[in-house]
Amino acid sequence: MMKDPVNRLLLCILSLALMAMAGCSGGNGWTVKDRQLQSGWQLQSSAGVTAGDEQVSTPGFIPQNWYAAEIPGSVLGSLVADSVYKNIFFHRNLEKIPDSLFNVPWWYRRAFELTNFDSGQVYRLRFNGISYRADIWLNGKKIAAADTLAGSFRQYTINITPYVKTGENVLALKVTRAKAGELNIGFVDWNPEPADHNMGIWRSVHLLATGPVSIEKPFVKTRVDTATLEHADISLSLMLHNYSDKAINGTLKAAIGKDIHLSKVVALEAGESKKISLDPAEYAALSMDHPRLWWTRALGKPNLYSL
């Protein structure tokens, strides 16, 4: 019996390298890392914080009587985890939590350490989901405002290189819940809505470290000959961004497994973002015979290619 042709070639585990050449200062000592900022967060209502907003994100500010915050999660979820509210799913306890507690913004705060500041090193913060809007402060500087950083299902990436330093850095978010009518995390009619309307940092936060050029939004498209399952065309695309103030020439290199090696010369102007595509029309190696397809357990082996 022929296996289900809907299953397609799956390429995963992206690891591309842009080798910077002429036009870029600095050596090859850049840190390249995706670090999730999951633990170490603290939480407090703005009603209980008398310090100015810019002070909350400084090392000299000492949080007093703040709660441990779970990231990702909601404000109320963290308060429940800290036993401020107990047995909220028993009887009508959830309804007894006053909505008025969440009419004001709530602060999230976390410190993190940095050690590498070689020339060309770039640091960014990526917020995968904040409900609903937030002012963001870093080391006493406001780096994003709630009038533009709003929407539970939006992702934000902020270049923080000008604001960070060697040693301790302090990040603080002043989060406000959604207003009536704003598209937020929903609930079905038989599921009681929490008093905070799910306000908080409800998806992951990442500290991204790269050299002056970053590789973003990688995408792999496959087209399998479903009649024979013996041929597949592969197309790759990604975004390159030059964060430096100089033009950069370089070579983008990619490998699929051990047998397919690709390279493309790239030129980026200062501050430029550029979409790069690699397809079978340009690279014959991306037209693959006898691909190892990914199958569900009942139909075969779940083959994977590393890219």
DSSP code per residue over 255-293: EETTTEEEEEEEEE-TT-EEEEEE-TTT-GGGEEES---
**Residue among 103, 106, 126, 99 at smallest CA distance from 53:** 106
What's the pLDDT score for residue 118?
A: 82
**Residue among 71, 70, 77 at smallest CA distance from 94:** 77
C-alpha pair distances (Å), 71 with each of 124, 129, 142, 157 = 18, 11, 21, 17
Q: How do the pLDDT tens digits run along the chain, 307 residues long?
A: 333 333 333 332 233 333 333 233 344 678 899 999 999 999 999 999 999 999 999 999 999 999 999 999 999 999 999 999 999 989 999 999 999 999 999 999 999 999 878 889 999 999 999 999 999 999 999 999 999 999 999 999 999 999 999 999 999 999 999 998 888 887 666 778 899 999 999 999 999 999 999 999 999 999 999 999 999 999 999 999 999 999 999 999 999 988 899 999 999 999 999 999 999 999 999 999 999 999 999 999 999 999 8
Does this model's pTM top 0.85? My answer is no
Asked if residue 307 lies in contact with residue 13, where contact means CB atoms within 8 angstroms, the answer is yes
Transcribe 123-191 into DSSP letters: EEEEES--BSEEEEEETTEEEE-TTTSB-TT--EEEE-TTT--SEEEEEEEEEEPPPTTS------TTS
What's the pLDDT score for residue 8?
A: 31
What's the pLDDT score for residue 232?
A: 96
What's the pLDDT score for residue 12?
A: 29
Q: What are phi and psi of 54, to 5 degrees?
A: -65, -25
What's the pLDDT score for residue 171?
A: 98
What's the pLDDT score for residue 191?
A: 75
Distant-in-sequence, close-in-space partners of 206: CB < 8 Å, separation ≥ 6:
34, 35, 36, 37, 125, 126, 128
What's the pLDDT score for residue 18?
A: 37
What's the pLDDT score for residue 6?
A: 30
CA–CA separation, 164 and 171 (whole Å)? 10
What's the pLDDT score for residue 19?
A: 34
For residue 142, how many C-alpha atoms fall within 13 Å in the half-sphere facing its CB?
Answer: 12
